[in-house]
Structure 1
Amino acid sequence: MSPVSGATATKDATRPKTPARRKRGEGQWALGYREPLNKNEENKKFDDGLNVRQRIIDVYSKRGFDSIDPADLRGRFRWYGLYTQRRPGIDGGKTAILEPEELDDRYFMLRVRIDGGQLSGAQLRTIADISNTYARGTADVTDRQNIQLHWIEIESVPAIWEALEAVGLDTTEACGDTPRVILGCPLAGLDADEIIDATPEIETIHATFIGDKAFSNLPRKFKTSISGCAAQCSHHEINDVAFAAVQHPATGETGYDLWVGGGLSTNPMIAQRLGTFVKQEQVPEVWAAVASLFRDYGYRRLRHRARIKFLVADWGAERFREVLEKEYLGYALPDGPAPVNIDAGLRDHIGVHPQKDGLAYVGFAPKVGRLNGDALHAIAALADKYGSGRVRTTTEQKMVILDVPPARTGHLVAELEAAGLPVKPTMFRRYTMACTGIEFCKLAIVETKARASSLIDELERRLPGFDTPVTINVNGCPNSCARIQTADIGLKGSLVTDDSGQQVEGFQVHLGGTLLGGDAAGSGFGRKVRGLKTTADELPDYVERVLRRFTANRQQGETFSQWTMRATDEELS
């Protein structure tokens, strides 16, 4: 698909011959603004991020960390899933003060992209081997279905790539201003209630466009969701582009409803429906058209406004659809229905459930997504022993073993429980997520993984038998990798003042966020009570207090989110 030609400035012969001055605008290529307007854009114009792979293999892995060009280290390395880790011992108060080279450690986080969350036994064992050999045993399942490794040395990267690629995995465009991992239902092709098996669409886009330089210089990251899941588990409401399965009421044909412009971070927005009906075979072409439109019309002047959500918010769905159809597709898409509202509580696929082929799947809950190489090996062994070896990751930092004979599910459940991977977790274990946090992340202000884990333990001890789903999402900074605005209790890491007047780790509290699926009506980002913060040490006391008030004051059938909308500030404090 060809990019839109940039508008060429012409001179009117009747005007005085003064030097032409072009407004900088938003740096949109389609309007002729091709000169970089910030350092990130300069780096990308100077050299495509995909070109760094060969330098890593030929130069940096052989000469070591000190040989790495800073523009590659803090920029282009991301095109292959590599971020420098935070140097140990730097407190959160210095996150926004120190220069990048002062925050950098000599080790890397490496993100393995797992499109659709689909893993074979060989792939999972390979990741486990890499974890134990090169990453000090680390392995975190993310809420975008990836697995992240830590403590990676640059000298080891070529060997890691070779091992991953031998089993069909990669880290290409796992980060950077690129098309990131494609979210999909972990039960694709197996869920008895699914509308469409989206696996072919995901595989085609990955094979055709990931690593293609036509899409390796986007204004910012570009997140995709393609799912036929009846529970809409891949969150079409908050992705840059999303295809949510629908059945056309007039024809009975199955296809997708197209959404654009969702995203969280510091300026959260719910995606907008374009109102189109996209056939399954059209998905790759339509995806490429949306990505091309973003590439050409996306804002490139200010990094904090460079996500597609800002373009969609300014244009509106009608104009976006018009430009998409006329300038990129060359044809009009038919109108179509919105997805049907569902029970959002089913989105994590936890528990034992039937597959449509007569077998069963078993979903279990690693604690806030944190695992290690030995645990991955154990999961792979159980998947081989009780199923076909196939394993899936979910968008809730959980995992699923597929293809288990129903008569054997009880034995698998028992072995998973014994391994600390409960299939019937408490509400707190099931519904708590956490981002990477200050342990490894250079953007973080507070610790998250250990804090969220200890919070789970405390709540299980203090509120035994609590049986109402309440999501608790813990984030180390304002960027919302753990989706704090969409949680019942969203905790944004910050420095707060304790009773003695000292600045300590703490959290700003968001309450009542929810994603309801369907046409997104009723979905929202909850409320922030002015000044509502808690220190990290007081966090268990706060959460216990607000949950007890909810239990005491809720109306019949009322969810936590609904209660927070009518509760007083005092009740929520």
Structure 2
Amino acid sequence: MYKYDDYDRNLVLERVKQFRGQTDRFFSGDLSEDEFLALRLQNGLYVQRLAPMLRVAIPYGMLSSVQLRTLADLSRTYDKGYVHFTTRQNVQFNWPQIKDVPDMLQALSDVEMHAIQTSGNCIRNTTTDQFAGVINDEVTDPRPYCEIIRQWSTFHPEFAYLPRKFKIAVNACPTEDRAAIKVHDIGLEIVQNEQGETGFRVFVGGGLGRTPLLGSAIREFLPEKDLLTYLEAIIRVYNQHGRRDNKYKARIKILVKALTPEVFAQKVEDEWQHIKDSPAQLTNEEIDRVKGFFDAPNYDTVESTTSFEEQVASNKAFANWVKRNTNEHKVAGYSIVTLTLKKTGIPPGDVSDDKLELIADLADQYSFGEVRIAHDQNIVLADVKQTDLFDVWKKAQAAGFATPNLNMLTDIICCPGGDFCALANAKSIPIAEQIQTRFDNLDYLYDLGEIELNISGCMNACGHHHIGNIGILGVDKKGEEFYQVSLGGCSGLDASIGKILGPSFAREQMADIVEKIINVYIENRTDEELFLDTYRRIGMTPFKERVYAKAH
């Protein structure tokens, strides 16, 4: 993984020093609440419903075991002993005191972490596939390009005050999109042309929130050396033409839709002609330098053995976990392991300090001291020998991380909702627990097959409800919490925005409503169909008729 040089280190330390001074001035009364607001947001510090919240960047989802242990220690010292991993591969502390945040940022800087640009109208954390660099069918490892974008976008003077927040995601897998690039402001798909040259298909104008839209392809092939200059051209056009008079219409997706993707693309091309040969054009030397930080670890040659197959054959629970929670690795004898953070009764994405320490131990012992944070709020050990899988499973099982429900109905993506967030209209966590409790039979879940269920507490869509096969949105009706359901969303290569089922439901109805939806699927599916396939074939009407049918 990338290691700081002196420039990186000094940049982060200067920011910590600067914010410490700003915090001191705030407490001394030299800065008003409004003046401090913009400064704290630039350092990832929010004030939520019950307490401040500090959001810390995890660039493209990668963490070392040392960094994990630091997060654990900070959660014990300054918080309530747990952290929350988000859908954008960040981590949040939900209960820090403002006065302690400079000390937290100092401790984070000691292990090459920071909260820079995790808030505000700037380019946020660049995200990618949690299996980057280890999955078999990717075009190339996307992480070096994410790191190049991170370095370029950090404190870029032109992009400090964009019309609205800005998010970039990168995918390098031609068969699956685990980075959800089509619902980002810019989505980059790494491709190769007929000459075998690496480049990017560029999508612009995706996003969720109040106006969910899928990104449009504005360039089919961008040479890799032109990555930064073309991104700069896109954001310059956005900076020049994006709306600043209405924050609800300020995202780039609104601009692209208003201009049309064709007109927007032409404006980008026109702008790009002025800067494409500027010093921001990448060189092979710079690309190779950054790629050098992502060299493969020293994999062992794993001799074939019958013990692993025997363990799978003799232990059904272990076999289920291997089938559901591991993926084939590009190196023979290794597997990719996903630790599921979706045990019933624990909010999705939450991990306690002692469990963080345990994950760090697992990473050190079995996966070269590294972990990845997934878009679906789970944790990945990317490099585990198959001969070690049984030991990893036993330890993960004891810690509650081995529920073999990955990609199943109860592997719910969920924002913190009204339990924490000041923006939320309704609570999300109790809905997740209600559904997980109702569908707690693994055999039944396996029979249902893969179903993505996403929950957001408000229209900001931090739980990505628009792209869940089943999406649930908390809404406020005269001070009461209700929930709106959508169907048919998808974040993959065939991305789609879910359509609203109909009027909203009370909290106590939600498990019943989901069960009715699932029953319609069971009654109408063919043997090979997943939920999304059946929905796309039969449409909304059968689901609507069942859910809103009056009891006789």
TM superposition score category, shorter chain reference: 0.7 to 0.9
2:172 counterpart of 1:228: yes
* Residue in structure 2 matching 1:459, options 434, 439, 444: 439
Counting only pairs closer than 5 Å after superposition, residues 253-332 of structure 1 correspond to structure 2 as 253-330=197-274
Instruction: Indicate the residue corresponding to 1:419 in structure 2.
Output: 399
What TM-score results when the alignment is normalised by the length of structure 2?
A: 0.81
Whether 1:469 aligns to 2:413 is no
Secondary structure of the residue aligned to 1:456 is helix
- Whole-Å Cα distance in 2 between the matches of residues 68 and 471 of structure 1? 46
| Contact 1:428 1:456 survives alignment (8 Å) | no
1:538-549 to 2 correspondences below 5 Å: 538-549=509-520
> Are 2:499 and 1:527 aligned?
yes
Q: Deviations over 1:254-293 (max 9, x none)?
A: 3210010000101111100013312223222322222222
Matches within 5 A, 1:482-493: 482-493=463-474
Distance 2:236 2:477 in 1: 43
- Residue 566 of structure 1: how far off its partner (Å): 4.8
1:101-116 residue pairs with structure 2 within 5 A? 107-116=51-60
Percent identity, please.
28
Aligned counterparts, 1:442-457, within 5 A: 442-457=422-437
Q: Which residue of 2 aligns with 1:84?
A: 47
* DSSP 3-state at the match of 2:437: helix
Q: Report SS of the residue matched to 2:417.
A: coil
Name the one with the larger helix percent.
Answer: 2
2:154 aligned with 1:210: yes
- CA drift at 1:354: 3.3
Q: Which amino acid aligns with 1:525?
A: I
In structure 2, the residue matched to 1:384 is 364
- For residues 430-450 of structure 1, the C-alpha deviation after alignment (integer angstroms, 9 at most, x for no partner) is 531111111110111211124
1:437–1:404 CA distance, 2 compared to 1 (3 A): same
Tell me the secondary structure at the aligned position of residue 46 of structure 2.
strand
Which amino acid letter does the alignment assign opposite residue 352 of structure 2? Answer: N
Of 363, 366, 371 in structure 1, the residue corresponding to residue 341 of structure 2 is 366
Alignment of 1:56 with 2:19, yes or no, is yes
- Does structure 1 residue 355 correspond to structure 2 residue 355? no
Larger mean CA deviation between 318-327 and 138-147 belongs to: 318-327
SS at match of 1:143: coil
Task: Give the CA deviation at 1:508.
Answer: 0.9
Q: 1:411 to 1:287 in 2, by over 3 A?
A: same
Residues 401-427 of structure 1: CA deviation (Å, up to 9, x unaligned): 122222111211221122111262265
2-structure distance, mates of 1:239, 1:202? 14
Distance in 1 of aligned mates of 2:28 and 2:55: 19
Please tell me whether the aligned partners of residues 247 and 253 of structure 1 are also in contact (alpha carbons under 8 angstroms): yes
Task: Pick closer, same or farther for the CA change 1:174–1:59 going to 2, 3 Å.
Answer: closer
Per mean C-alpha deviation after superposition, the further-off stretch among 226-235 and 454-463 is 454-463
Q: Distance in 1 between matches of 2:116 and 2:324?
A: 30
Residues 278 and 151 of structure 1: CA distance in aligned 2, closer, same or farther (over 3 Å): same
Gaps spanning 5+ residues in structure 2: where?
A: 1-13, 278-322, 343-347
Q: Which residue of structure 2 lines up, in the alignment, with residue 182 of structure 1?
A: 126
Q: TM-score scaled to structure 1, two decimals?
A: 0.78
C-alpha displacement at 1:462, in angstroms?
10
Q: Deviations over 1:452-511 (max 9, x none)?
A: 1232122215984443212111111122111111112111102359xxxxx642201111
Tell whether the 8 Å contact from 2:117 to 2:124 is kept in structure 1 after alignment: yes
CA contact (8 A) 2:409 2:450 kept: no
The one-letter code of the counterpart of 1:509 is V
Question: Is 1:246 matched with 2:226?
Answer: no
Letter in 2 for 1:360: S
Shift of 1:382: 1.0
Shift of 1:197: 0.9
Kept in 2, the 8 Å contact 1:427–1:467? The answer is no
How many pairs are equivalent? 479
Paired residue type of 1:530: G
Deviation at 1:65, TM superposition (A): 9.2
The answer to whether 1:75 aligns with 2:11 is: no
Partner SS state of residue 173, structure 2: coil
Structure 1 position 132, deviation (Å): 1.5
How large is the RMSD of aligned CA atoms in angstroms? 2.6
CA displacement at 1:309 relative to structure 2: 0.5
